[in-house]
Structure 1
């Protein structure tokens, strides 16, 4: 049974301090918006595996998850992202294995990445587990600069490359909260260095995450979650989310990013199926003037077991 947050004992106060700092960061914000992390999506609280494969151990039934994200609707060449993950638990050794595939397209540039991962849990006591994961795969990058202006020497040569990728993650979790750190994209060699702009997609990206879930009453649960993203040369970005779940079926929440983006989130769990929708919009008055830079995000998942039967995944 998930405890009421009002009854948390003193040994759990450090977690509340951490969450308080996250909320403070949400209020103060981060004014640096010139660059963004290479890959992000607003529904990370429902599927953190692409950022930290150790999260897959929370799913004791296994699942297949898909997501499509389209930014700046109505603008040609605007970013489009497709993601699919699948995980299979290996209960005999308290482990899981799976695959992560995503495709990210921005104008003439396209990145495709495929990784397999293995995660193992170590039981620390009756209620807490330390999970570790390792992932490996390939990353392909293509930039068709010649399509911009074939007569201009600056854009004469296209850029193509395929490089190996590896990463790791660590997560500590109990039956009602988790804390994690990961580097899912550990770049050893350069890729796409001929890009006209300073490409941040191929630097090492570090992620710090945390969430808890608690009972508001018998029918409603509340899940605040945070995700901090950092890469060298890119400002630290924080995602702060809060979502209410009604009877384990309907979820309503908000997400705020410190690059002045906000999202409304709607989720629906029906037996083994999960459907999610996120609508993201800018909150800055200087957001490209009056341009509507709305982002739509849709997720669809199938779990080999009922979603409501496992509150850690809500």
Structure 2
């Protein structure tokens, strides 16, 4: 069993490193801990219930053409929780472009020892559609061959690993390991999709019967852009109220809150304050999400899982 796990780890890491990474483009979330399946397909089914999450992010409020992101995902375990499947949709708008990605996820979980240590590995596949509307720009040279509306499509193939117990987790993934270059009729490169690598980790401390504390980290790497590092700390009170803060290296500080309305529904909100000079020109970034879960086997009781 251990030898097979090492083979699997080596194979997935080899796939992840098979393409160069050059530009940071993937969606950014402050509350990434509630939307893990969007960037790591190995998480599909790991909540032990049918789990659907919708999230909306409005970045740099007050800036015309600033990024807006809408994400929806749904995943569930099947076959005695060894197999997980999921579907996802993301729409990113920034300036003249609107990018939509639809994906399907599948994961498989292997128990490693009798202390609840498990390894999940997963695959993501789908389609990316990039619409570029040049009518939203002030065009000074109408004869420029690059300044025409375009619709560009490319495939999506991602892989991920997720090592976890009920107390901690470590994940390594890429939501799309394909590098796609889009060209027009005269071979001028108009857009490109580059591979991003995500590393996540977190641990849950039981402070007492009422409070849990979970520090977590996410790093996002792509050649040609600074390494993105998010560090967060969340406190969970009575399995219902979550309060926390986060720091994005040299970029922003954030306030996070969430509330478990009942055993099926959780809502959350976060606010980012920009730490750069750009903070003089925007009113921060806002993010909201709602999660609905069904089939967790709990009656009249909030699901106590923190991740």
TM range (shorter): 0.7 to 0.9
For normalisation by structure 2, the TM-score amounts to 0.83
Q: How well do the aligned residues superpose, as a CA RMSD in angstroms?
A: 2.1
Partners of 1:160 and 1:192 within 8 A in 2: no
Counterparts of 1:189 and 1:73, CA distance in 2: 31
Alpha-carbon contact 1:114-1:137 (below 8 Å) kept: yes
1:283 maps to which of 271, 275, 292: 275
Deviation, 1:91, is 3.7
Q: 1:104 aligns with which of 88, 92, 96?
A: 92
Task: Name the CA distance, whole Å, in 2 between partners of 1:97 and 1:241.
Answer: 28
Q: How does 1:1-314 map to 2 (within 5 A)?
A: 37-92=25-80, 94-126=82-114, 127-148=116-137, 149=139, 151-154=141-144, 156-191=147-182, 202-271=193-262, 272-284=264-276, 286-288=277-279, 290-304=280-294, 305=296, 308-313=302-307
In the alignment, is the contact (CA less than 8 A) between 1:118 and 1:133 conserved in 2?
yes
Inter-partner Cα distance in structure 2 for 1:36 and 1:93: 34
Aligned partners of 1:231, 1:136: CA distance in 2, in Å? 20
How many residues were matched structurally? 274
TM-score normalised by the chain length of structure 1: 0.81
Partner of 2:6: none
Q: Distance in 1 between matches of 2:214 and 2:252?
A: 20
Structure 1 unaligned residues grouped into runs of 5+: 1-34
Deviations 1:87-136 (A, max 9, x none): 02114361110101000000111110000010100010121001000010
Q: Which segment is superposed worse, 290-299 or 103-112?
A: 290-299
